[in-house]
């Protein structure tokens, strides 16, 4: 039986070995309106996890994506759920229908790094 998650789940930003937070930096680089939309979508995930499509999709290996529609573009926030926390691994604006392999590979690499530092 699956335990019900605490509400809301805590959100943490993945940190590189040098202390950078790539998703936070990505969000800061976006227009304020885009940030608000993405933030609201992540908030929804925090309070209603587990969530399915159309907001969230499972990509593979425990990496999920929050699918946000911003100003005629599509933003993706890739994350993993670790110990009742949403770990934001990577964020980008999509140009194609499919999530590019290099974007997913980067998120998986960051997830492995995060888990090895626990």
For 10-69, the pLDDT digits (tens) are 999 999 999 999 999 999 999 999 999 999 999 999 999 999 999 999 999 999 999 999
Domains detected in the chain: 10-111 (3.30.2310.20)
Helix, strand, coil % over all residues of the chain, rounded to 5: 35, 30, 35
Q: What is the pTM of this model?
A: 0.92
């Amino acid at each position: 039986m699956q335990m019900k998650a605490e509400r809301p789940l805590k959100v943490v930003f993945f940190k590189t070995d040098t202390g950078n937070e790539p998703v936070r930096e990505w969000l800061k680089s976006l227009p304020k309106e885009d940030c608000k939309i993405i933030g609201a979508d992540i908030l929804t995930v925090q309070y209603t996890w587990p969530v399915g499509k159309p907001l969230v999709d499972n990509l593979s290996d425990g990496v999920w994506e929050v699918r946000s529609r911003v100003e005629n573009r599509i933003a993706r926030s890739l994350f993993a759920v670790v110990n009742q926390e949403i770990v934001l691994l990577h964020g980008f604006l999509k140009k194609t229908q499919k999530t590019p392999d290099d974007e997913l590979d980067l998120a998986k690499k960051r997830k492995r790094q995060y888990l090895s530092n626990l």
